[in-house]
Amino acid sequence: GAGVSQSPSNKVTEKGKDVELRCDPISGHTALYWYRQSLGQGLEFLIYFQGNSAPDKSGLPSDRFSAERTGGSVSTLTIQRTQQEDSAVYLCASSLGRKAEAFFGQGTRLTVV
Amino acid sequence: AQSVTQLDSQVPVFEEAPVELRCNYSSSVSVYLFWYVQYPNQGLQLLLKYLSGSTLVESINGFEAEFNKSQTSFHLRKPSVHISDTAEYFCAVSEGTGANNLFFGTGTRLTVIP
């Protein structure tokens, strides 16, 4: 596609449910990033993929959060047993590498009620 | 550990006045530096970047940033702001060697007052 695509754009879920957020990066981009933007907060790094491997998972806030990437393309961020504090906009970005511009998707707005 | 500090969370400025948004980073290795902008109700987009070469980089809409290695800074400036510059600005850094992830500062909300 022309840009980074994220789905769904909005997700409302009940506390305790699991959610999956999807990111389709720009074709050919080997690097993929997940960030979280909470209300009134900056961008919080979650995880970085180079190809299918994640050399840096240091930003995942708890073991309820996990992510995978398959075929060097699509990535899924999974949040298990969601809590209200998980409510945020989850942003995905991809780039050709660390020197290159990171292109961002429009994000998934997650609301846990 | 890598970190990016944006000292000002909010910067109000009158239209046509100059502005500087500050960004400092901590890294013991060479870095690549970026400024991203997020206009209201829009996604993040790249404003300008420093990879190598001239330490002064410019954007197409009049912003510029200067890489200062000794002060580990990459401040963003514009000599005369417009209403349309109202947005949130994020400084980001990627290390030149070792870790490849892109770290962002907490952002500076620039509000241009008519």
Q: What is the pLDDT along chain A (113 residues), one digit of tens a residue?
A: 579 999 999 999 999 999 999 999 999 998 899 999 887 677 888 998 888 888 778 889 999 999 999 888 999 999 999 999 999 999 999 988 766 778 899 999 999 99
Window 38-77 of B: residues touching A by CB (8 A cutoff) are: 43-46, 49, 51
Whether B34 has a pLDDT exceeding 60, the answer reads yes
Give the pLDDT confidence score for residue B14 in this predicted structure. Answer: 97
Per-residue pLDDT, B91: 94
| Minimum distance, in Å, between the CA of residue B51 and any CA atom of chain A | 7
User: CA angle, A40 as apex, B108 and A2 as ends, to 5°?
Assistant: 75
Inter-chain Cβ pairs, chain A and chain B, closer than 8 A = 61
The token pair at B106 is 């907490």
pLDDT band at B100 (very low <50, low <70, confident <90, very high): low
Compute the distance between CA of residue B26 and CA of residue B114 in angstroms, rounded to an integer: 36
B20 band by pLDDT with thresholds 50, 70 and 90: very high
pLDDT of A63:
94
Chain A residues with CB under 8 Å of B90 CB are 42-43
pLDDT at position B98 is 43
Which residues in A1-113 belong to E strands, given as ranges? 5-7, 10-13, 19-24, 31-37, 43-50, 53-56, 65-69, 75-79, 88-95, 103-104, 108-112
Put simply, the answer to whether B105 touches A107 (Cβ < 8 Å) is: no
Q: What average pLDDT does the structure give for chain A? A: 90
Residue from the list A31, A42, A50 with its beta carbon closest to the beta carbon of B90: A42
Query: What confidence score (pLDDT) does residue A39 get?
Result: 76
pLDDT at B73: 95
User: B29 in contact with A at a CB cutoff of 8 Å?
Assistant: no
Q: Least CA distance to A6: which residue of chain B?
A: B43
Query: Is the model's pLDDT at B101 over the cut of 80?
Result: no
The torsion of the CA quartet A5, A6, A7, A12, rounded to 10 degrees, works out to -150
Do the Cβ atoms of B100 and A31 come within 8 Å?
A: yes
